[in-house]
Structure 1
Amino acid sequence: MHWIILIVAGLFEALFATCLGMANQTKGKESVLWLIGFLVSLTISMVLLYIATQKLPIGTAYAMWTGIGAVTTAIIGILIFKEPATFWRLFFIATLIASVVGLKAVSH
């Protein structure tokens, strides 16, 4: 169950990063709403990370949380923010995914 909580926490990490990107691209009330979304997503992500670390080793949990967030944010950047999808960028995203899977595989 704590692994699922950690995955959801990582997805909320990507959401708060996405909200920051959207806040930078908007103005006025819309920007403020994105910043509120950032704060809500940040809070949820941190609380879920805290819950996950009650049963999972902090080093593994933090690395996985960061990896899940980084991979998801990079994919969102490519799909939503039209960031480049070069071979090397996709290659290193794939190595991040392999690292997250590997951490899960070797963790007890």
Structure 2
Amino acid sequence: MAHLFLAVSTFLALPLSGVQAQTMSDANKQKLAENLAQADANGDKALSRTEFNNLLLLNAQDNIGRAAQVVRFGRQDTAFNQIDADRNGLVTQQELQALAR
């Protein structure tokens, strides 16, 4: 879960640089981890489009990264499609880690 968390935090801080994402406050990191656990409704450690959208909404409410901007401009599908490299309808830990590199 820690690797998934780092990758998600890096993504959700986009378009901030990876360095800026890594300097998130501990409180935001904790809240992001809680939001991720809540959004992953079935606990499979992969996010469906609905779960991903829920994560963005939760993070937007908590003012984490650029999630509010993504939601405000309706770019959830674009963000999801950028991450779902194999187009299987799930954002996996491996896809998030690839994004974080």
| TM-score (norm: length of structure 1) | 0.26
Mark the structure with the bigger radius of gyration. Answer: 1
